């Protein structure tokens, strides 16, 4: 049998990746390339404008007059980091509860924890806006209980760092609890048995055995919230004030309100690069068995 035919047969099924791959190339890689081109001025959305290669916008953003955007970038990173840390800390006891206390019903309770995640994110953000609003649930409860004079709203509740951070925290905690739960589940419980066998107290067993062994899950959870939050822009739209807009909002603005696609592309590309770097640095903590071959194949 001719060699070429044989090789094609083996390659045959692999070719099925091509259509999906084509979609990715056209709809993800090509747009990124265009963003890059726009960022260096080689293309423009303004008809008739000349398009020489220019790093002017990059320089402006990185070193020059784009201080406001640099500031917003730093602010975004601060919020992201803060939310990631707090979320991870809050998620740990939930995972621990599921794995060690809830034993028999843990999967059902996990589903309970995750269920809100499957409802519309926008609706949940809007719901928080209703709750935290100047006329909202929290304030009207305070007024009804006469803890505050009616009409006098708590100022920092809405359109503040607090509201943005709270919404992000609210969204991601169940998500972060999941990898921690998985790691706790897979942990060899004989190790904790051994520890208590050897006389360790509950606290010591936790600090010296459980916690260190669960760290991979903790880091994975941290990464799970860190990376998406870097690009977050929806929460500030609903519950953030003018001082609480994140980097993603800046990008959005450049492509809608005041269209400067070149400068906007600088910011968009920056965001892509930052997320990619974070993935490269932290990605190793996300184990994946996607590369394992199918069962039983030589």
List binders of another protein among 50-79 (CB under 8 A). Answer: none
Name which position in 56, 154, 213, 237 contacts another protein (CB under 8 A). Answer: 237
What residue has token string 């669960």? 214
* Minimum separation from the CB atom of position 109 to another protein (A): 8
**Of residues 134, 139, 124, the one with CA closest to residue 159:** 134
Name which position in 5, 104, 146, 190 contacts another protein (CB under 8 A). Answer: 5
Residues 121-150 that bind another protein (CB under 8 A): 121-124, 126-131, 133, 135-137, 140-141, 144
- Residue 31 or 212: the one with the smaller Cβ distance to another protein is 31
* Minimum separation from the CB atom of position 60 to another protein (A): 18
What residue has token string 């359109």? 159
Give the contacts of 131 (CB within 8 A, at least 6 positions apart): 137, 138
Q: What is the dihedral of CA 145, 149, 150, 153, to 10 degrees?
A: -100
Name which position in 4, 48, 50, 120 contacts another protein (CB under 8 A). Answer: 120
Name which position in 75, 82, 162, 255 contacts another protein (CB under 8 A). Answer: 255
Decide if residue 207 touches another protein (CB under 8 A): no
**CA atoms of 286 and 224, how far apart (whole Å):** 9
- Residue 86 or 102: the one with the smaller Cβ distance to another protein is 102
Alpha helices in the chain, H assignment, sequence order: 3-12, 18-24, 30-39, 56-62, 67-96, 106-114, 121-132, 137-144, 161-186, 189-197, 202-205, 211-230, 234-239, 247-255, 261-282
Decide if residue 93 touches another protein (CB under 8 A): yes
Decide if residue 114 touches another protein (CB under 8 A): yes
* Minimum separation from the CB atom of position 79 to another protein (A): 15
**CA atoms of 236 and 132, how far apart (whole Å):** 14
Decide if residue 168 touches another protein (CB under 8 A): no
Decide if residue 190 touches another protein (CB under 8 A): no
Q: What is the dihedral of CA 126, 132, 133, 138, to 10 degrees?
A: 130
Residues 13-32 that bind another protein (CB under 8 A): 13-21, 23-25, 27-32
Decide if residue 191 touches another protein (CB under 8 A): no
Decide if residue 49 touches another protein (CB under 8 A): no
């Amino acid at each position: 049998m001719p060699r070429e035919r044989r090789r094609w047969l083996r390659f045959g099924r692999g070719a099925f990746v091509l259509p999906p791959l084509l979609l990715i190339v056209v709809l993800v890689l090509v747009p990124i390339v265009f963003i890059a081109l726009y960022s260096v001025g080689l293309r423009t959305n303004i008809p008739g404008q000349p398009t020489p290669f220019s790093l002017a916008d990059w320089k402006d953003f990185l070193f020059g007059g784009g201080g406001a955007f640099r500031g917003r970038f730093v602010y975004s990173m601060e919020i992201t980091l803060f939310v990631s840390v707090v979320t991870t800390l809050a998620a740990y006891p939930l995972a621990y509860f599921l794995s060690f206390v809830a034993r028999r019903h843990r999967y059902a309770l996990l589903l309970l924890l995750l269920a809100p995640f499957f409802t519309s994110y926008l609706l949940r953000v809007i719901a928080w806006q209703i709750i935290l609003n100047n006329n909202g649930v929290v304030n009207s409860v305070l007024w009804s209980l006469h803890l505050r004079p009616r009409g006098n709203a708590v100022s920092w509740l809405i359109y503040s760092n607090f509201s943005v951070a709270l919404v992000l925290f609210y969204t991601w905690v169940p998500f972060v609890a999941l990898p921690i739960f998985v790691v706790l589940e897979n942990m060899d419980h004989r190790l904790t048995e051994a520890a208590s066998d050897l006389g360790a107290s509950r606290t010591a067993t936790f600090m010296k055995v459980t916690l260190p062994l669960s760290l991979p899950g903790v880091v994975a959870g941290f990464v799970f919230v860190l990376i998406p939050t870097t690009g977050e822009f929806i929460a500030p739209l609903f519950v953030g004030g003018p001082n609480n807009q994140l980097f993603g909002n800046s990008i959005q603005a450049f492509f809608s309100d005041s269209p400067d696609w070149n400068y906007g592309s600088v910011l968009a590309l920056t965001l892509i690069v930052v997320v990619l770097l974070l993935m490269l640095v932290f990605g190793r903590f996300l184990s994946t068995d996607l590369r394992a071959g199918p069962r039983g194949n030589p």
